[in-house]
Amino acid sequence: MIPMVDLKAQQNMLAGEINTEVLKVLDSTKFILGPNVNNFENEVKDYLKVKYAHTVASGTDALHLSLAALDINPGDEVITTPFSFISTAWAITYCGATPVFVDINPKTFNIDPLQVEKAITNKTRAIIPVHLFGQTADIQQLQLMTKNTKISIVEDCAQSFGAKVNNIQTGCFGDFGCFSFFPSKNLGAYGDGGLIVTNNSKLSEKILMLRNHGSKKRYHHNIVGYNSRLDEIQAAILRVKLKYIDEFNNSRKNIANIYTTNINNKKITTPHKSQNSDHVYHQYTLLADDRNLLQEFLTKNNISTAIYYPIPIHKQEVYKKNYGNIFLPNTEMIANSCLSIPIYPELIEEKVNFICKTINSM
């Protein structure tokens, strides 16, 4: 079976370096906020070309702490996309604020700025666009829209590490950029991890306090804080992997290019790629009228697939009672027809070609 990701292949390739670095951490017995976290934050800051980079315990925490740093509270509204992983909405709910879900652009699967504009009220405090599947959202349009307003932008970059818009890294446009190092993400740790970036020094200070018990000086607690830190073992692993991220993302782009060039089944739509956008293909997602039939056919041919995401967030059990009356047609249509096929840096060309041929033969 061709899997959706092959973490074992990546570990086999990097084992020499990674195992050495992990053992060094074990011997150092410095496990929390030590030299690896510090060095990783500096290295990732240089890579993303941003002023401040602070690691946290997960991508979910990155989003939550960002909204907390912006003082988002009950009564506030935050506009976001319903076509994402649930964490995007959790962050808003954790702050007691109200998620306002607006429809997506059916080509890019990302939040539609025109719908955002219509949803803005005097309670709107922030917008969370998601750079879904590694394709950049229409972030410059959102920036224009919020210029000279008090509305903040928090970018969900969990799936877009290394993606750029006009040569600027995602995460650097908003007040905050939030990344996840969940193992299967483009830059993945060997456990949970996350990152918050910002160019704003005040907001940067606030994140440093929030992630470490609301404290600047040890045992002096100024605000309600959290325990949300990346550990040294994960930071050591991420430092190794960061050196290869361009290589990994280039492999993904190359595979996507083969798919887009060779898949020519009339019943299937290959993903659109926006101009000015450097898509890093966290996922390669097809659209098919009979998505379930395609999935069954590929399974029979030993090709794994996945549905990201089968249920839009506003229709999830936990949220649906509050959103029963909204209809977001593009989101529903895409959720009913999307199917992601294998894409990961170690996927060899022979298998990519086999997948194309199989899809075309249906």
Determine if 192 is a binding residue for ligand PLP (CB under 6 A).
yes
Task: Return the residues of window 77-116 that contact ligand PLP according to CB under 6 A.
Answer: 84-85, 87-88
Q: How far apart are CA 113 and CA 140, in angstroms?
A: 10
Determine if 334 is a binding residue for ligand PLP (CB under 6 A).
no
Minimum gap (Å) between residue 90 Cβ and ligand PLP: 8
Minimum gap (Å) between residue 131 Cβ and ligand PLP: 8
Chain centroid offset of residue 181 CA: 9
Token pair of 153, please?
Answer: 């932008």
Q: Where are the alpha helices (DSSP H) in the chain?
A: 7-28, 35-48, 59-69, 87-94, 113-119, 139-146, 201-210, 232-242, 245-262, 291-300, 317-320, 329-337, 349-360
Q: How far apart are CA 260 and CA 287, in angstroms?
A: 13
Determine if 36 is a binding residue for ligand PLP (CB under 6 A).
no
> Looking at 136, 146, 159, 340, which residue binds ligand PLP (CB under 6 A)?
159
> Looking at 133, 182, 259, 323, which residue binds ligand PLP (CB under 6 A)?
182
Determine if 228 is a binding residue for ligand PLP (CB under 6 A).
no
Of 87 and 105, the one with the shorter C-beta distance to ligand PLP is: 87
Task: Return the residues of window 120-149 that contact ligand PLP according to CB under 6 A.
Answer: 130
- Residue span binding ligand PLP (CB under 6 A) among the ranges 54-62, 99-107, 202-210, 222-230: 54-62
- Residue span binding ligand PLP (CB under 6 A) among the ranges 3-11, 155-163, 272-280, 296-304: 155-163
Q: How far apart are CA 291 and CA 278, in angstroms?
A: 27
Q: How far apart are CA 215 and CA 131, in angstroms?
A: 32
Minimum gap (Å) between residue 180 Cβ and ligand PLP: 3
Determine if 277 is a binding residue for ligand PLP (CB under 6 A).
no
* Cα dist from 290 to 85, 161, 268, 296, whole Å: 23, 32, 9, 10
- According to DSSP, the residues that pair with 338 across neighbouring strands are 287
Quickly tell me which residue has 């993945």 as its tokens.
Answer: 188
Q: Pairing mode, if any, of strands 124-128 and 164-165?
A: unpaired
Determine if 342 is a binding residue for ligand PLP (CB under 6 A).
no
Minimum gap (Å) between residue 135 Cβ and ligand PLP: 12
Determine if 60 is a binding residue for ligand PLP (CB under 6 A).
yes
Q: How far apart are CA 138 and CA 48, in angstroms?
A: 19
Q: How far apart are CA 206 and CA 286, in angstroms?
A: 41
Q: Pairing mode, if any, of strands 164-165 and 277-278?
A: antiparallel
Of 60 and 212, the one with the shorter C-beta distance to ligand PLP is: 60
Which residue of the chain is nearest ligand PLP when measured via CB?
59
> Looking at 48, 50, 65, 158, which residue binds ligand PLP (CB under 6 A)?
158
The number of residues that bind ligand PLP (CB under 6 A) is: 15
Report the interface residues with ligand PLP, using CB under 6 A.
58-60, 84-85, 87-88, 130, 156, 158-159, 180, 182, 192, 194
